[in-house]
Chains A and B, each alone.
Chain A
Amino acid sequence: MKIEVLYPEICCLFGDKANMRYFEMCLPEAEFIKTPVSEMPRFLTEDVDMVYFGSCSESNQERILSRLKDHKERIEALIEKGVIFLMTGNSFEIMGNYIEKPDGEKIEALGIVDFYSKRTIPQRFNSLFLGKFDEMDMVGYTSRFSHSYDIKEKDAFMSATKGYGSFKDAKTEGIRRNNLYGTYLLGPFLIQNPLFTKYLCEQLGVKEPEIAFEKDVMKAYEIRLGEFKKDIKFIC
Chain B
Amino acid sequence: MQKAIDIKENTDKFEELLRYIESQDKSQGILMQTLHKAQEIFGYLPIEVQKFISEKTKIPMAEIYGVATFYTQFSLEPKGQYTVGVCMGTACYVKSAQLVLDRLQQELKIKVGETTEDNVFSIQATRCLGCCGLAPVMMIGEDVYGKVDPKDIPNILKNYR
Chains A and B form a bound pair? no
